[in-house]
Amino acid sequence: MKYKTQMEAARNGYVTKELAQVAADEGIEEKELMQLVASGKVAIPANIRHTALHPHGIGSGLRTKINVNLGISGDCADYEREMEKVRLAEKFGAEAIMDLSNYGKTQEFRQKLIETSPAMIGTVPVYDAIGYFEKELKDITAQDFLNIVRIHAESGVDFMTIHAGLNRRSVEVFLREGRQMNIVSRGGSLLFAWMKLTGNENPFYEHYDELLDILREYDVTISLGDALRPGSIADSTDASQIAELTEIGNLTLRAWERGVQVLVEGPGHMALDEIAANMKLEKRLCHGAPYYVLGPLVTDIAPGYDHITAAIGGAIAAANGADFLCYVTPAEHLRLPDLDDVKEGIIASRIAAHAADIAKGVRGAREADFKISEARRKLDWEEIFRLSIDGEKARAYFESVPPEDRHSCSMCGKMCAVNTMNKVLGGCRNIELRGQRQERKEGQEVL
C-alpha cells in the first residue's frame, strides 16, 4: 500500500484490499465506505504485519462488532487453555480478540495469536511494560512505555488501548470530586499510580505525537482508553468521566491529523436511563469516532450473571450509537473466565449486537431472523439448528426430551400452535389431539 494507513488511503481515493473486503462483507459501496474511513467515522484496524487478518470495519452504518478479552495471568498461566479460548471466539464469530496477558511469555503468546488468528488483535501495552522491563512501576520511564508500544506494533497488533486522556487536568477533577469506586480501569490505575509516584505527566499524553508516529508506521488503530470509566452506577456520568471524555475528543482530532485511525472506549457501569444520552455525548465530544463500550453493566448486584447485565446495556448502547461491544463473562469481577464463561459471554454479546443492529436498521440485519422464522414455520429443525447463533446448544435442548412427533417439541407436543396452523391452513379436516388428555380422577368433571 502506498499510503501508511487506511485513513490516509481513503482520503486519497485509494481502495485498499482491506477496505474492499469490508465493503463486500457489509454490503456497502466502496465509495461510501471510503468516505466514512476518511472522516474517521469508520475504522478498519489492520496492522500491516498481521497477515492472517480478516479485516472488519467498526463504525457508523456497519454491523456492531464484538471483542473477546483473554490472556495469561499470574494466577492462571495456562497457554494452551487461552488458545482454546481463541478458537472458541473464532468459532462463535467474535471479530476481535484483546490479549490482556500480563505474566510469563507474553510476547510468545501474542506472536502465536497474531500469526494464526484472523480476528483483529488488540492489546493494552501498559500491562506488558512491568513484566517486560522487570522494573518497579516507579522506575519505568516514559521512553520505556513508548518502547513497549513499538514492540507491540512491530509484532502485528491491530489496535491498542492507550489511556492518554488521563492527564493532570482530568486527574485534578477526579481528586476534587471523589468517587465511590475510584479508578477501576487496570491500565488507568497503573498510570495514575505512576503519575503520583513520579510526579510526572502521563507519558502517553505528554509524548502523544511520538506515540502517534509509532502507530502510523504500522497502521495501528489507537483505542483511546477510558481510565475514568465508572465502576459502579453511583459513579456514572460524573465529572471525572466527562472530563476525560473531553480530553479524548481533542486527542481524537490530533490522531486524525496524523492519519491514525481512532476508537473511543466508554463505560463501564451505568443505569439504563443514562445509556442513550452517553452514546450521543461521546459522538458529539469525539466527533463521530467509533465507540467501543464495556457493557455497560446496568446494575451492580449480579456477580456471576454480569454477562446478562452487560448484554442488556450493550444492546441499548449499540442501538443508540455504540459500534463495538466488549464482551463480559459470568466470571467478571470474580475470577479469570474458563471456557464455558467465555462462550456464555460471547453469545450474550452477539445477541446484544444483533438486537441493536435490527433496531438501528443495519443492512441485512433482519435477514437472519426472517430465515430462521421461515424454518420455524416449516418446523425444519435441522435448518433451525444451522441458523442459530449456538446450534449445538439448540440441538442438545431439543433432543434432551425428544418429542413423540418431530413436527413439534416437548413443550407443546401435539398441541403445537405452528403444527396446528400448518395443518388447518393446508386443508386438514381433522386435528388429532388424543394422547394429550390427562386421565380424570373419579368424580372429576370433564372441562
Three-class secondary structure assignment of 135-178: CCHHHCCHHHHHHHHHHHHHHCCCEEEECCCCCHHHHHHHHHHC
Report the binding-site residues for Zn(2+): 269, 333
272 contacts 300 by C-beta, under 8 angstroms: no
Q: How far apart are CA 308 and CA 317, in angstroms?
A: 14
Give the model confidence (pLDDT) of 437-446 as tens digits. 454 455 555 4
pTM value? 0.93
Residue 252: band (very low, low, confident or very high) from pLDDT cuts 50, 70, 90: very high
Report the binding-site residues: 69, 98, 127, 163, 185-187, 226-229, 265, 269, 292, 333, 409, 412, 416
Which CATH fold topology does 6-359 show?
TIM Barrel (3.20.20)
- Per-domain residue ranges for the chain? 6-359, 367-425
What's residue 201's pLDDT? 98
Omega before 267 within 30 of 0, i.e. cis: no
Residue 3: band (very low, low, confident or very high) from pLDDT cuts 50, 70, 90: confident
Of the candidate ranges 58-72, 250-264, 316-330, 404-418, the one whose mean pLDDT is the lowest: 404-418
Give the model confidence (pLDDT) of 335-347 as tens digits. 999 999 999 999 9
288 contacts 40 by C-beta, under 8 angstroms: yes
Report the binding-site residues for [4Fe-4S] cluster: 409, 412, 416
What's residue 134's pLDDT? 82
- Those residues whose C-beta lies under 8 Å from the C-beta of residue 215, and which sit 6 or more positions away, are 149, 153, 160, 221, 222, 255, 260
Q: Is 293 helix (H, G, I), strand (E, B) or coil?
A: strand
Q: How far apart are CA 122 and CA 124, in angstroms?
A: 7
C-alpha cell at 335: 475470577
Helix (H) or strand (E) holding 326: strand 324-326
Q: How far apart are CA 440 and CA 244, in angstroms?
A: 70
Which position has the higher pLDDT, 47 or 133?
47
Report the binding-site residues for substrate: 69, 98, 127, 163, 185-187, 226-229, 265, 292
β-pairing, 65-70 with 96-99? Answer: parallel
Under DSSP, the state recorded for 103 is: S
What's residue 437's pLDDT? 46
